[in-house]
Structure 1
Amino acid sequence: MLSVEALYKAHADAVLAKLRRLGIEGPALEDLLQDVFVIALRRQAKIPKDNDSARRWLFDAARKLAANFHRLYRHKYEALDPDAIDAALAEPEDPEEHIALCNLVRTALRELSSKDVELLRRHAIDGESLPELATWLRITKSGAHVRLERAKERLRVQVARLEQGVELRGDRKPEVIEAPTSR
């Protein structure tokens, strides 16, 4: 039986290349390479004895780890960007424009159904995941995804109509927030 250290010396470059071919890049590349060999250490008794079979076993572990990596939502949509965090926490460059946008969105939300507003609030503000939304709606996760996307699209349409000055329904006036006065 080959030791994990010997496997690492013999196959680390090949496993790294395999992970790259599987679409892993950046800091995750080294992390997943280490994960492959951590798994090899934990399952040392299950690794085939001959070198070629052990190599295939390592490639299989790398393939499974890469598939799991790509399945995770955060790797597709969330990037660790300190500048983005700073920008999100910073005051808006134009407070009046920001207030106008808030008023526009608030007015558009009033034009949506209460179910759409609740769905958008739960997802965007409360941070509920699709499985949590699906449970609340008593539907499947994919059904919740469809409903969420449709609610987002209805909100986008309402905002676009308001931006163009089109009267939506009734004679509701937008709720106005006053800009903070400087002291």
Structure 2
Amino acid sequence: MPDIVELYRQHRAFVWGSLSRLGVRSEDLEDVLQDVFITVHRRLSEFDSNRASLRTWLFVICRGIASNHRRSLQARHAAVAQSAAEPLHVDDVSPEEAAARAQAKVRLESILAEMSFEKRITFLMYEVDRMSTEDIAEILGIERGTVFSRLHAARQEFERAVRRLQLLDLVKEKST
């Protein structure tokens, strides 16, 4: 078993992305990430590679800490909307490209926000994190068939939403 420093180096990006997809606000990610690795350090001796992969175990910890974080924000009435766009390096892209990226990000977040949590997390774990259906089933505590049905439903919702947005763009374009 690697030490905590090595675990942090190897899995920081995965944990960061998982927390983000689990709904942790961008301004809170660094603090929640630290909470995850503090918990990992405390519970490292409990990890059993015969029961789950390290990524699965890390995701389960992320899910619990993200859930606790959301509850604590709600309890303090401190929920603030997540910024619409990540900071962009101005010198890397043109203003038009920066605006297009920001708009695409807002649209993606809007589409994902319309999905139920169960569909959204399944979709993101499979499509973004490239996790296997077996790992997703294990992490979420559901049958593999349920993973497939949620994934299928999420893809259909995603495609319908994209088509709807494309149609709206076409209508706007024709009216100008």
Compute the TM-score of the two structures, normalised by the length of structure 2: 0.40
Higher radius of gyration, 1 or 2: 1
TM-score of the superposition, structure 1-length normalised?
Answer: 0.38
